[in-house]
Amino acid sequence: MPYRISKSFEIESGHILSKHPGKCRFPHGHSRRVEVVLAAATLDANDMVCDFKAVKLALKPFLDSWDHALAINTDDPNYAFYQEKHGARIISFAHTDPTSEVMAKTIFDEITRCLARANRQGDFAIPAGVKVERVRVTETSSSWAEYSE
């Protein structure tokens, strides 16, 4: 698709990589940047893929649930403790470590679902032809992971 836009979000989140052989198996956090690239074959009536505010309105509630939260593998030996102690601030990853790669795919899938039920009318509509092209999750100033289909 010839037209692309990108919207970035910043979140603070922690994770535990219980399969990791080094320090990352302990709880630690990152200032993450989530970059979403949307694409369309044509522009809307306002000569845009869609308004950046429409992207923010559609995606921010989901990403807010990850802000100041701890992502953890449900197989981690301490999962039940964290879930009981912190409830909604725990982002559960079923039988897999919440690596940046896994997070990028999870966010990609959720954004695809968000677009499927997005507002199609009004000032901040997302046209039906808009697709998620890729999601990049930056973990540090020098490291990121990306998912696309």
pLDDT tens for each residue of 4-59: 999 999 999 999 999 999 999 999 999 999 999 999 999 998 999 999 999 998 88
Question: Which 8-state DSSP code applies to residue 11?
Answer: E
* 125: pLDDT strictly greater than 90: no
Q: Which two tokens stand for residue 23?
A: 């320090």
CA distances from 117 to 62, 66, 102, 121, 125 (A): 13, 20, 23, 12, 11
Q: Which residues of 12-50 are buried (b: 16+ CB within 10 A; e: fewer)?
A: ebbbbbbeeeeeeeeeeebebebbbbbbbeeebeeeebb
d(CA 146, CA 142): 14
| Domain limits, the chain | 3-148
Q: Is residue 124 very low, low, confident or very high in pLDDT (cuts 50, 70, 90)?
A: confident
> pTM above 0.75?
yes
Query: Which one, of 120, 103, 121, 111, lies nearest residue 6 by Cα?
Result: 111
Look at residue 1 and tell me whether its pLDDT is greater than 80: no
User: Strands 131-140 and 143-148, how do they pair?
Assistant: antiparallel
Distance CA 120, CA 17 (A): 39
CATH of range 3-148; options 3.30.479.10, 3.90.79.10, 3.40.50.10190, 3.40.50.1000: 3.30.479.10
Kindly report, residue by residue over 77-123, the tens digit of the pLDDT.
Answer: 999 999 999 999 999 999 999 999 999 999 999 989 988 887 777 77
